[in-house]
């Protein structure tokens, strides 16, 4: 495994850990300023909308795991195909289970750090 592959796997692990801890600032630091997220049923959105949605999840408990199925580094750009399974539990509600794949494009910055630049998230409800 190359140093870049290790760094990207660490980014994904940090993202999952920070998301579960509600550490929005850490998650925001793992993405480019021009990041674009694509999810079913809504128009693509960027970092500000992601931050606003995340801040609206105060008190929500999140548990999950990530399984990188494919990771390719092409210079300062990389992509990964990832399977994610998660359970989201609102403060006064029933747990919601979601699972599925993401296709993510990452970009290596001038500072040498990898950041998420584009993400197509296909998680859906699990019964």
What range does the domain containing 84 cover? Answer: 3-125
User: What pLDDT does 122 receive?
Assistant: 93
CATH assignment at residue 63 = 3.10.450.50
Per-residue tokens: 38: 């694509």
User: Is residue 80 predicted with pLDDT exceeding 90?
Assistant: yes
Task: Report whether pLDDT(79) > 90.
Answer: yes
> How does DSSP assign 73-117, residue by residue?
EETTEEEEEEEEEEEEE-TTS--EEEEEEEEEEEEE-TTS-EEEE
pLDDT, tens digit, 9 for 90 and up, residues 81-101? 999 999 999 988 899 999 999
How many distinct structural domains can be found in the chain? Answer: 1
């Amino acid at each position: 495994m190359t140093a870049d592959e290790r760094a990207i796997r660490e980014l994904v692990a940090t993202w999952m850990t920070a998301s579960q801890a509600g550490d929005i600032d850490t998650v925001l630091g793992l993405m480019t300023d021009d990041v674009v997220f694509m999810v079913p049923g809504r128009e693509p959105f960027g970092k500000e909308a992601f931050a606003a949605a995340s801040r609206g999840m105060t008190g929500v408990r999140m548990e999950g795991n990530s399984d990188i199925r494919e990771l390719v580094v092409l210079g300062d750009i990389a992509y990964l195909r990832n399977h994610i399974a998660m359970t989201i539990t609102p403060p006064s509600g029933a747990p919601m289970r979601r699972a599925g794949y993401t296709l993510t494009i990452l970009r290596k910055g001038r500072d040498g750090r990898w950041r998420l630049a584009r993400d197509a998230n296909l998680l859906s409800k699990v019964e």
